[in-house]
Amino acid sequence: MRDLAERVGALRQLASVRRLTLEDGPESGPALLFSTGGGLDFLVMAGRGLDVGTLNYQGVPLAWQSPGGLAGPGLWQPDRDDGQGFNRGFSGLLMTCGLDSIRQPRAGGVLHGSLPGTPARLTACGEDWDRDEPVLFCAGEVVQARYGGANLRLRRRIEAPIGGSVIRLTDIVENVGPSPQQHALLYHLNFGFPSIGPGSTVRVGDETLLGPLRFPDASVSQTPACRALPRGGDVTCRLITPKPEGELEIGITFATETLPFLQLWQDLRPRAGILAIEPCTSDRTPEGFSETETVLAPGETRSYRLELAIKGLAPSIF
């Protein structure tokens, strides 16, 4: 990096993490803007649990957004709408679901758990140019706590290699309460046009799990499909979209030891246009509930890794 340092007044001219505050409309709140210098720019929403909101690759937006935008958590309490309040804030590239439950609620619970939209405490952010692989990074924690109920803490670190088009996420979930606690996690990764389009496929290895898609397509069922993956090692799920200028490939890599299931869900109707890829901790019942989840003892932790890597040329919009 010494050669680069001699060509600029400040290395942040080339790649940076900038803390900012969004001040307009429902998205008002703290955020971090990552610019890797390799064509990848994304917004991490501190007010939404350090989840990723917008994501642009080579200047083209790839993440899905709802008409309500990246609304702050105060606008969509999870227990609204008979426990379906999640759907009021559903938007952006990544929504992390859990930490005590995922999917449809049981016995007075809420859709996808109480974590989504919980504000994070930011503990660090910046650029590390001195590593063998320089990175942009941020770190923080989110606590889901209720006296007499679940007391779970998520510690998150996000890294993006400088000059690259990769996001790496490391999560550690700990039971910080006095009693054993059920724990579940689902990474809701949401892609929209033009990262999906006619001919898009979702593949694991040589197997095509979904597609080629028609897009838009009002006839497609919105029922999620979930499958078990071989435990041990990493697996990469690839979203591949053909375009005249070449294929766009988005790879999502995760460890099946802790995320042994992969769920796919789509709503390809006109004016919706979303495909969700969801690594998760448990299988799905036909009724939309989760199968048996992990139980963490007091002080016990569970670690997760997720990597998103983008290859190819960004598709044109117009």
Tell me what pLDDT residue 1 has. 67
Tell me what pLDDT residue 169 has. 99
Tell me what pLDDT residue 117 has. 79
Q: Compute how many other C-beta atoms are within 10 angstroms of the C-beta atom of residue 318.
A: 3
Q: How far from chain centre, in Å, is Cα 247? A: 22
**Domains defined along the chain, listed by start:** 2-312 (2.70.98.10)
Is the separation of the CB atoms in 200 and 240 below 8 Å? yes
Handedness of CA 147, 149, 151, 156 (dihedral sign): negative
Taking residues 308-315, what's their average pLDDT?
Answer: 95
Choose the weakest-confidence range: 25-34, 58-67, 157-166.
Answer: 25-34
Is the separation of the CB atoms in 309 and 250 below 8 Å? yes
The pLDDT of residue 55 is above 80: yes
Label each residue of 140-194 as H, E or C. Answer: EEEEEECCCCCEEEEEEEEEEECCCCEEEEEEEEEECCCCCEEEEEEEEEEEECC
- pLDDT tens readout for residues 81-116: 777 778 787 899 999 999 998 988 877 788 888 888
Calpha distance 241→258 (Å, rounded): 28
Tell me what pLDDT residue 295 has. 95
Calpha distance 76→242 (Å, rounded): 36
Tell me what pLDDT residue 75 has. 79
Taking residues 14-32, what's their average pLDDT?
Answer: 93
Is the separation of the CB atoms in 226 and 261 below 8 Å? yes
Tell me what pLDDT residue 142 has. 97
Tell me what pLDDT residue 187 has. 98
Taking residues 183-199, what's their average pLDDT?
Answer: 97
Query: Which contiguous run of DSSP H or E holds residue 307?
Result: strand 301-312
Q: What percent of the chain has pLDDT over 70?
A: 99
**How close are the terminal C-alpha atoms of the chain, in Å?**
37
Tell me what pLDDT residue 2 has. 67
Bigger pLDDT: 309 or 146?
309
